[in-house]
Amino acid sequence: MRHGKRLFIATFLVPPLALYALFVISPYVQAFQISTTDWGGLSPEYHVVGLANFTRLLHDHYVWNALRNNAILLAVLPVVTIVLGLFFASMLSVGGRRDRAGVRGVRGAPLYRLVYFFPQVLSVSIIGVLWKEMYAPDSGLVNGALRAVGLGGLARPWLGDPALAYWCVVAVMVWSNVGFYVVLFGAGMQAVPRDIYEAALLDGAGRATTLLRITVPLLWDTVQVAWVYLAIVALDGFALVQIITDGGPGLRTDVIGLRLYSTAFGDAKFGYASAIGVAMLFLTLSIAVLALRATRRERVEL
């Protein structure tokens, strides 16, 4: 009987584990091997160069420029997205006026949730093309709206201005991610007993105090996971940057993911690009571990 049970479990576990090893683990292992070569990606010929690619990384100003942009994104994207997500979710869940039915969200909350979540049903390529056209100097919706309300003097070549292009991309990334966390945090708030919020209102707590002293501590585990996930998104950022600006103008919006792609497919240096990928892997893991440790706190039980 026990042998049959083990055979039954193995029958269901072995095929998916084999596929995972083949399509997920195997490419990682190959990337480590390729990172020690000078392979160009097209020819089967290559030479083993050891750690030379990693030594080169330390002196590559293009890589350091991309990392600097990722660092700014890492500092801005998680904070802004989580703050906006908590604020909107709080308003939609418990931000309405208290009535006989108790604490409730603002009027029209289901419609607002749909609007906030809408970017999640769009692919990243559609989002990138959409916002690239919206930022267009002459035909874009952003400048068109400014001119329509008499603020034409504020119209700019948004993606062509080195001082603005990066922040335009950051705004798109926040817009495309915040809706998911509105729904995620809102689902967490629905599990919080309404008696707690009603007691806080009776004690005279305002909305800001309720959010900071009640909602955030009770949702801290969810906030912690959200921060780690957004940190990983900030360390990548490849797709939107590649579609909207392709790293320009003057590499002001370049990120490490785009630098890897350009090195591999633009410069035909797959060995060096693999070294960038390996370094990016360890950097991402390190930041995820540090984030989990830095945000660790005692769990609040209801």
pLDDT reading at 279 higher than 90: yes
Contact status, residue 275 vs residue 53, Cβ threshold 8 Å: yes
Residue 243 vs residue 193, higher pLDDT = 243
Confidence band for 39, pLDDT divided at 50, 70 and 90: very high
Q: Give the right CATH number for 66-294 from 3.40.50.1980, 3.40.50.1000, 1.10.3720.10, 1.10.8.50.
A: 1.10.3720.10
**What does the DSSP assignment read for the chain?**
-HHHHHHHHHHHHHHHHHHHIIIIIHHHHHHHHHTTB---SSSS---B-TTHHHHHHTT-HHHHHHHHHHHHHHHHHHHHHHHHHHHHHHHHHH-SPPBTTBS---TTHHHHHHHHHGGGGS-HHHHHHHHHHHT-TTT-HHHHHHHHTT-GGG---TTT-TTTHHHHHHHHHHHHHHHHHHHHHHHHHHTS-HHHHHHHHHTT--HHHHIIIIIHHHTHHHHHHHHHHHHHHHHH-HHHHHHHTTT-STTTT--HHHHHHIIIIIS--HHHHHHHHHHHHHHHHHHHHHHHHHT--PPPP-
Residue 96: pLDDT band with limits 50, 70, 90: low
**Res 286 pLDDT > 60:** yes
Q: What is the pLDDT of residues 207-247, one digit of tens each?
A: 788 888 888 888 888 998 899 999 999 988 899 999 999 99
Residue 100 above 50 pLDDT? no
Mean pLDDT of 120-141: 93
Higher per-residue confidence, 298 vs 263? 263
Backbone φ, ψ for residue 294 (5° rounding): -70, -30
With a cut of 90, say whether residue 265 has pLDDT above it.
yes
Q: Please answer whether residues 66 and 259 qualify as being in contact, where contact means their C-beta atoms are separated by less than 8 angstroms.
A: yes
Q: For the whole model, what pTM was predicted?
A: 0.88
pLDDT at 101: 47
Mean pLDDT score, 27-41: 92
What does the pLDDT read at residue 4? 65
Question: Is the CB of residue 234 less than 8 Å from the CB of residue 81?
Answer: no
Average pLDDT over residues 190-197: 81
pLDDT at 176 over 60: yes
| Residue 270: per-residue pLDDT | 94
User: What would the mean pLDDT of 4-18 be, rounded to a whole number?
Assistant: 79
Give the per-residue pLDDT at 3. 62
Average pLDDT score, the chain: 88
| pLDDT for residue 298 | 61
